[in-house]
Amino acid sequence: MASVETVIEDHDIVICAGSGGVGKTTTSAAIALGMAARGKRVCVLTIDPAKRLADSLGLEELGNEATQVDPKLLEAQGVATENGGELWAMMLDAKETFDALVARHAEDAEARDRVLNNRIYQQISGALAGSQEYMAMEKLFELHSEGRFDLLVLDTPPSRNALDFLDAPMRLTQFIEGKSLQIFIKPSGMAARFASRGTGMALSVLKRIVGFDLLADLSEFFTAFSGMIDGFQDRAHRVGSLLADQRTCFLIICGPQGEPIEEAVFFHSKLIENEMNFGAAVVNRVRYRLGTRQVKVRDLTERIDSELDDADLSARLARTLSEYDVLAVRDQKNIDLLAESLDGEPLIRIPYLDNDVHDIAGLCEINKYLFTDEKDRVEKATS
């Protein structure tokens, strides 16, 4: 089975999607590092990476802009960059990206500030369903249009469901086009009607309860926002079509347990249904069987005891090994199911490493499995 390099070679955007905690951030950073080591100018757009990983890449001060990882940090781990490769990274900040979008679509500075300073906007820009997913794509679109990089690798937000990501542009346009917003934008709309009763009892009560003039804020927000709607919609459609573009491919990251595998199968079918390019499934934290026959705790204990000469310790060790073997068998069964549904399309396994992956050395360890073929992967994981 292919190396990740062959999977992504014809694409200039790679999106690592998958459900929460499966290793999306780790895989995206590792792929970006691996491709930089192969001479490409790569930028990884990462979301909320573990602090230690961000620190090890020297990204602690990073805002919403791409910053180059110091080549010296890479060289210290044996990653050559004299072939022209560059690793850049940025941490995505959904709110900042949304603010930048408002600034782009506002007619003038005053309209911009009216929206940015509005309390309703401040609430919805962070909480709008799918806004984090959408803003990740928005930033991707922006960087892709600039053409500064050979490859962009997008990490995706920790959503419960990987499909949230695919729906994000649609949900944003639906929100903008939807009835709730239109009611407020039309001059004869609800906000205007309420606002005209300005001094009414109900309003002053409401004002006291929420602590500020909610309806005035709503009305102001929607009026200011209405001028930006065409720009927003157009942009969201273009961002959406970039997802389905030939230059983009998806990697589905998942764990080897039953539920994540089922989700991966479902996500794969959704990608095909939406005519998006599937690259590979990456099954992370896989336990490999160390032998070919199911181990028996008693036999193992006897064998280990002769080496250790400590009956209690060898019994415990034998039990752990046998439990590990049960999990390895289960992982294999689940991966077989996934392979069957992928029908020959690439599937890459990364073993459960002994340590967390929180620095460049850890990413290099992951790359020993991502950037090689299946035969070599199995050899490495079981030796």
Ligand X SMILES: Nc1ncnc2c1ncn2[C@@H]1O[C@H](COP(=O)(O)OP(=O)(O)OP(=O)(O)O)[C@@H](O)[C@H]1O
25 binding Mg ion? (CB under 5 A)? yes
Sign of the torsion angle spanned by Cα atoms 371, 372, 378, 383: negative
Scanning 3-11, 23-31, 92-100, 183-191 for contacts with Mg ion by CB under 5 A, the matching segment is: 23-31
Q: Which is nearer to ligand X, 111 or 346 (CB)?
A: 346
- Closest approach of Cβ 154 to Mg ion, in Å? 11
Q: Which is nearer to ligand X, 18 or 106 (CB)?
A: 18
> Contacts for 334-342 with beta carbons within 8 Å, 24 or more apart?
334/256, 334/257, 334/258, 334/261, 335/256, 335/261, 335/283, 335/286, 337/261, 337/265, 338/254, 338/261, 338/264, 338/265, 338/281, 338/283, 341/265, 341/268, 341/269, 342/268, 342/281
Scanning 18-26, 104-112, 135-143, 348-356 for contacts with Mg ion by CB under 5 A, the matching segment is: 18-26
What is the phi/psi pair of residue 20, to 5°? -60, 140
Q: Which is nearer to ligand X, 266 or 352 (CB)?
A: 352
**54-89 burial: b if 16+ Cβ within 10 Å, else e:** bebbbbeebebebbebebeebeeeebebeeebbbbb
- Out of ligand X, Mg ion, none, what residue 353 binds, judged by CB under 5 to 8 A for its kind, is ligand X
- Out of Mg ion, ligand X, none, what residue 20 binds, judged by CB under 5 to 8 A for its kind, is ligand X
| Residues 192-231 contacting Mg ion, CB under 5 A | none
- Closest approach of Cβ 182 to Mg ion, in Å? 36
284 binding Mg ion? (CB under 5 A)? no
- Closest approach of Cβ 196 to ligand X, in Å? 47
26 binding Mg ion? (CB under 5 A)? no
37, containing H or E segment: helix 24-37
Rounded to an integer, what distance in angstroms lies between the CA atom of residue 381 and that of residue 326? 17
90, containing H or E segment: strand 86-91
Distances (CA, A) of 141 to 46, 118, 133: 15, 26, 13
Which residue is at the shortest CB distance from Mg ion?
Answer: 25
Q: Which is nearer to Mg ion, 85 or 130 (CB)?
A: 130
- Closest approach of Cβ 172 to Mg ion, in Å? 22
Rounded to an integer, what distance in angstroms lies between the CA atom of residue 142 and that of residue 134? 12
Scanning 25-33, 56-64, 68-76, 170-178 for contacts with Mg ion by CB under 5 A, the matching segment is: 25-33
- Closest approach of Cβ 359 to ligand X, in Å? 10
- Closest approach of Cβ 330 to Mg ion, in Å? 25
**Pair type for strands 67-68 and 86-91:** antiparallel
Which residue is at the shortest CB distance from ligand X?
Answer: 158
Q: Which is nearer to ligand X, 165 or 225 (CB)?
A: 165
- Closest approach of Cβ 34 to Mg ion, in Å? 18
- Out of ligand X, Mg ion, none, what residue 357 binds, judged by CB under 5 to 8 A for its kind, is ligand X
Rounded to an integer, what distance in angstroms lies between the CA atom of residue 106 and that of residue 115? 9
Residues near Mg ion (CB under 5 A) are 24-25
